[in-house]
Amino acid sequence: MWDERYNAETYAYGKTANTFLAGHFQAIPKGKVLSIAEGEGRNAVFLAQQGYAVTAVDASQVGLAKAQKLAAENGVAIECMQADLAEYDFGEQQWNGIVSIFCPMPSALKAILFPKIIKGLKPGGVFLLEAYTPDQLQHGTGGGNDADSMMTAETLRRELSKLAFTYLAELEREVVEGIYHTGKAAVVQAIAVKAA
């Protein structure tokens, strides 16, 4: 599905960074950042422009090829890894930051990914996320139609209890990111830190 979606001249979700990430990236200590389900590279390229060493992981080779093209256009370098997130090794205490922007995560994937995120962060490292909540189904402005792939503040607090949240909120906001995410949206935003 994702190769198909990204197989076009235009960028499905645009070329500019997610606004929550753009407004809060300073929360992430300088260093290595892992961006999961990165797609066509807009967030990875933005982070590289801010001086981070970015690794972009996505299942779609088509998306990652466009990410490399976008990085070249912007004069920055990013590392791209094609991988199934469930299989990808986050390592241990590897990352100053891990970023997840609108990554659909069914319960089975959350159960695999969240422990890997906690383990993969360095002490003092930051996990930054924006995701759709199940209320998004009423808006139909992006994120698919599977409530199980969406998240709530309660889920995040429970599943990531080993991290300390410096910011956690559910809200409605206008999301304008390419043709697939446009309009009023119900989202959860989170910034969480691993104890130093």
Residue 32 has pLDDT above 80, yes or no: yes
Q: How far apart are the C-alpha atoms of 196 and 18, rounded to whole Å?
A: 28
For 98-155, the three-class secondary structure string (H helix, E strand, C coil) is: EEEECCCCCHHHHHHHHHHHHHHEEEEEEEEEEEECHHHHHCCCCCCCCHHHCCCHHH
Mean pLDDT, residues 22-46 taken together: 97
* Residue-wise pLDDT tens digits, 97-112: 999 999 999 999 999 9
Output the average pLDDT for the chain. 94
61-73 vs 42-49: helix crossing angle, rounded to 10: 30
Q: Which two tokens stand for residue 188?
A: 């959860």
pLDDT band at 7 (very low <50, low <70, confident <90, very high): confident
Domains and their CATH numbers in the chain: 2-194 (3.40.50.150)
Within 8 A by CB and 6+ apart from 24, the residues are 128, 167, 191
pLDDT at 112: 97
Please give the pLDDT value at position 3. 66
Confidence of residue 2 (pLDDT cuts 50, 70, 90): confident
What is the side-by-side strand order in the sheet with 32-36? 79-82, 53-58, 32-36, 95-101, 121-132, 181-194, 163-177
- Would you say residue 152 has pLDDT above 80? yes
pLDDT band at 77 (very low <50, low <70, confident <90, very high): very high
